Amino acid sequence: MTTVETGLRGVGTRLGRSAWGGFALRRGGGLLLSIAVLVLLTFLIVPLIPGDPAAAILGADATPEAIAAMRERLGLDEPLPAQFVDYLRGLVTGDLGTSFHYGIPVTETIATKLGYTTTIAFGAIIVVLAVAIPLGMAVGVLTRGGRRPGLATTFGAVAGFLASFPSYVAATVLIIVFAIQLGWLPAGGASSTQAYILPIAALALGPTFAVARVVRQETYNVMQQDFMRTARGRRISAARLHLRHALPNLLASTLTLAGIILASLLGGAIIIETVFNLPGLGTEVVSAIIYRDYPVIQGIVLTIGLIAIAINLAIDVILGIIDPRTITAVSHD
């Protein structure tokens, strides 16, 4: 290796490190800001409740003494800044409070329920990526250059309809067809692995076709680029052409949208759990709202928010690995 080549490699390495360093600083600052906003919002769940939260918990027949005792238990008798400091102190020590309804630590409640929610949420994420990217690429390749206009129109119409299909409606339809009429799968509960199939399918249906539409359009655009025409002119095999040259160039915009959609799957999982009677965070937060179990509500909202932030951060890192240009753009933004 010549001295010039060695020098160029050293410069490239330093630039790569600088780009990733800038990315880490920028994303680290954004991460801290997102967490700070999330913590503040979860803290304000109780103080911003209309009326007196203590009276709402105890009901209309509660005595003033009982309300005063509940306010003391909630820490509402302290000034708002002092309440916030106590809340932060609890978060730092891993103490999210105690459930009013169950009388056990909120962290224990969340730990018991979290597995059900993450199973269907991350199961849906896998389905979305495993189906949407190949499907969108296939349609994009088949319809490039105006080919097969009927397929393009049909796919656009069907994908648009299914992408806008609410998850709870999809869940109802799936239960009627596959659980009630055909009897192939359980209609609810979590007694077996099969019980997760319908919830995951209902949760993944809309996002799958939303992402597939974007992948199809990006594939169509990439296939029209000069470098793809040159690659086809060299008679490169179809598998190498699409997987090595087309796929990396369409993943950046696709994963950006996918990150937003995938994070929203956590919120959808809460609704789906209620439909399928899964004992996850969704069912628990509904119960907590009914019983006005505010520490549990705060803990679940905080947990869901932190997972959503982690998903978006993971998407950013994956984008940087796939396309280093995104790291350079962020670090110099």
Inter-residue contact 140 to 220 (CB < 8 Å): yes
> pLDDT tens digit string along 274-328?
888 888 888 888 888 777 788 888 888 888 888 888 877 777 777 777 666 555 5
Whether CATH 1.10.287.1060 fits 106-331: no
Residue 4 is predicted with a pLDDT of 39
Residue bearing the bigger pLDDT, 207 or 9: 207
CA-wise closest residue to 306 among 104, 112, 91: 91
> pLDDT tens digit string along 173-213?
989 999 888 888 888 777 788 888 899 998 888 888 888 88
Phi-psi region of 180 (alpha: psi -120 to 50; beta: other; left: phi over 0): alpha
> pLDDT tens digit string along 48-76?
766 666 776 777 777 888 878 877 777 77
Inter-residue contact 312 to 261 (CB < 8 Å): no
**How does DSSP assign 83-143, residue by residue?**
HHHHHHHHHHTT---B-TTT-SBHHHHHHHHHHHHHHHHHHHHHHHHHHHHHHHHHHHHHT
> pLDDT tens digit string along 235-271?
666 666 666 666 666 666 667 766 677 667 777 777 8
Work out the end-to-end distance of the chain between its first and last CA atoms, rounded to an integer number of angstroms: 35
Residue 327 CA, distance from chain mean position = 22
Handedness of CA 86, 87, 92, 94 (dihedral sign): positive
- Burial tier of 11 (Cβ tally within 10 Å: 0-12, 13-18, 19+): exposed
The C-alpha angle 48, 54, 56, rounded to 5 degrees, equals 80
**Residue boundaries of the structural domains of the chain:** 106-331
Residue 275 is predicted with a pLDDT of 84
**Which single residue is written with the structure tokens 């801290």?**
32
The per-residue pLDDT of the chain, averaged, comes to 77
Mean pLDDT of 86-105: 82
Which of 5-9, 22-26, 49-53, 153-157 tops mean pLDDT?
153-157
CA 62 to CA 194: how far, in whole Å?
46
